[in-house]
Structure 1
Amino acid sequence: MGLFKQPEYRRFNLKPRYWDPEAEARKEREKRIRTELGLDENGNEYIPDVRASLQREYNKQRSNRPKTGLGYATRLFLILIVILMVAFYLVTYKLDLIMKFF
């Protein structure tokens, strides 16, 4: 963490050239049916891994959250600096104006 925004890493995004949507839909349907019947890929009994699925869902939701950490802190810091500069100016150059209120 610091005052300046860190550069993001480059990501490698490989898109497949050949894609058969029917075959993918068929595999997805078979997988869903096997899950509903309680079978795994080999036909054995399927035992759901609840913890792993919760972790995957949490990580997915976490990655979709807006990133507000550094922007909020920087904005707050700048506002504080401006307020302190105005207060310093008023105390040093306009002290008589301030004393009229008291």
Structure 2
Amino acid sequence: MGLFKQPEYRRFNLKPRYWDPEAEARKEREKRIRAELGLAENGTEYVPDVRAGLQREFNKKRATRPKAGLGYSTRLFLILIILLMVAFYLVTYKLDVIMKFF
């Protein structure tokens, strides 16, 4: 204890929540099917899950992306080979022309 009041430390009270992505997807499918069939669901209207749709499309495009990356690296490799061949040609056969510039 002392002459002055010591501040108490702050407590962080976090109540964890459980999230089940499979259950959420199942509920979303049920809502979509009920909306397509025209069944009322306790007075709530169907709202499509845009986020899940965007994630599906992103994963589809990501699966095809490595093919595009392979084309880029191959093109870059070919350009480097061509530049090295041109440099080798200039150094071996046209060395006197290059030396005039220096």
**TM-score, length basis structure 2:** 0.46
Larger Rg: 2
**TM-score, length basis structure 1:** 0.46
